[in-house]
Every structure is written in C-alpha cells, then in structure tokens.
Amino acid sequence: MQCPVDGDTLVISERSGIEIDYCPTCRGVWLDRGELDKIIERDAAATMPPARGGRDAYDDRGERGGKRRKKGGLLGELFDFLD
C-alpha cells in the first residue's frame, strides 16, 4: 500500500493486536476500520482507577499503589516505533 502523502510504501506493524500502517518517510500513521475503536477501548480500560475500599489499591502509607504505566500510556506503547 502506498502512503497517501508522499507515495512511499507503507510498513505494517502489529502492536498489542492492533495493526498499524505507517510511512517511514513522513511518519504518517493509518489505521484500518475499527482499529481506532480498539485503541480507545483499551486505553479506557487501562486508565480506570482501581476499585475503592480494597487494601490492594493502597500501600502501607495509605497512598495509591498499583502498577505504574509507562509515560505516554497505551498510545505511547503502540506508537513507540515512531521515536
């Protein structure tokens, strides 16, 4: 498939089950139908706060704990090949 911007050949990359077409020259990114919806759904699920009231959600000092996401969140992880 050709890049609509500069005509270069697009490269296909799969990240987290989402197929991303990108141009190595202009760094443009294109998604197939439904791929943006998948990204939005996964990002929303990943950014939901932990359930309240459980001891698991807090550390010994009473501060929020849990897994820290890499800066940039899910979108940063999906598009890290552009850096």
Q: How confident is the model at residue 9 (pLDDT cuts 50, 70, 90)?
A: very high
Sign of the dihedral defined by the CA atoms of residues 22, 71, 37, 16, in that order: positive
Bridge-based pairing of strands 11-15 and 18-22 is: antiparallel
Q: Is the pTM higher than 0.75?
A: no
Looking at residue 37, its amino acid is D
Q: What is the mean predicted confidence (pLDDT) over 46-67? A: 58
Q: Which of 49, 52, 51, 41 is nearest to 78 (CA)?
A: 41
Q: Which of 26, 33, 16, 6 is nearest to 79 (CA)?
A: 16
